Homo-oligomer: A and B are copies of this chain.
């Protein structure tokens, strides 16, 4: 008989990470206890330690996977034919990606200070890599005189901060669709870099 397989072993790990992600985002890493995570998943506290070395590893793994996904999806974008198309693609990608993973984004920005130094450095390096991608895009456009930018690094910071800010106010039920928001922000970004 095809008795339903007890596959809890295969899914408990992901369920733990999903619960931790949501709880860390909602209440903050320091405010969430291992017991709360366990209760949310439906196991006892001790069981968590079969899937993670300790609480710190749980946080680091969530942030590391988020940054890996971000860089992988950025790399997977089709090659743009010119800096202006590339910037539009980046703008829309950033808004969509960050919106779809608001919990992970929130954690990755807010809980940096709760990472041990070595873990912090690894995450920061990945973030710098993301910023550098936009930076080189802007530099190329500046060299080709399609962008009017005085400082490439600052322009990259400004664009990223502006786009990430969408997550602080956007609601699915709000006045504007995400597609409409993308359009409006793209026009602001485009003008900001003088294109």
In the assembly, what is the distance between CA of A158 and CA of B151, in Å?
A: 19
Is A110's CB within 8 Å of the partner chain B? yes
Q: Which of A7-15, A44-52, A60-68, A181-189 contacts B (4 or more CB under 8 A)?
A: A181-189
Q: Which of A34-42, A70-78, A96-104, A163-171 contacts B (4 or more CB under 8 A)?
A: A163-171
Give the distance to chain B from A28, nearest Cβ to Cβ, in Å.
5
Q: What 13 additional pairs, Cβ within 8 angstroms, besides A28-B28, A188-B193, A191-B191?
A: A27-B30, A110-B110, A154-B181, A157-B166, A158-B162, A158-B165, A158-B185, A158-B188, A161-B161, A161-B165, A189-B192, A191-B193, A192-B192
Contact B168 A161 (CB under 8 A): yes
Contact A113 B26 (CB under 8 A): yes
Is A150's CB within 8 Å of the partner chain B? yes
Within the oligomer, what is the number of copies of this chain?
A: 2
Q: Which of B29, B110, B162, B184 contacts A161 (CB 8 A)?
A: B162
Nearest CB to that of A151 among chain B residues?
B184
Contact A113 B27 (CB under 8 A): yes
Contact A150 B113 (CB under 8 A): no
In the assembly, what is the distance between CA of A148 and CA of B187, in Å?
A: 10
Can you list 16 A-B pairs, Cβ within 8 angstroms, ordered by A?
A30-B31, A110-B110, A148-B191, A150-B187, A154-B188, A157-B168, A158-B162, A158-B165, A158-B185, A161-B161, A161-B162, A188-B192, A191-B191, A191-B192, A191-B193, A191-B194
Known A-B contacts A191-B191, A191-B192; A114 and B158 likewise in contact (beta carbons under 8 Å): no
Q: Which residues of B contact A194 (CB under 8 A)?
A: 191
In the assembly, what is the distance between CA of A158 and CA of B185, in Å?
A: 8
Known A-B contacts A110-B110, A114-B31, A192-B192; A169 and B187 likewise in contact (beta carbons under 8 Å): no
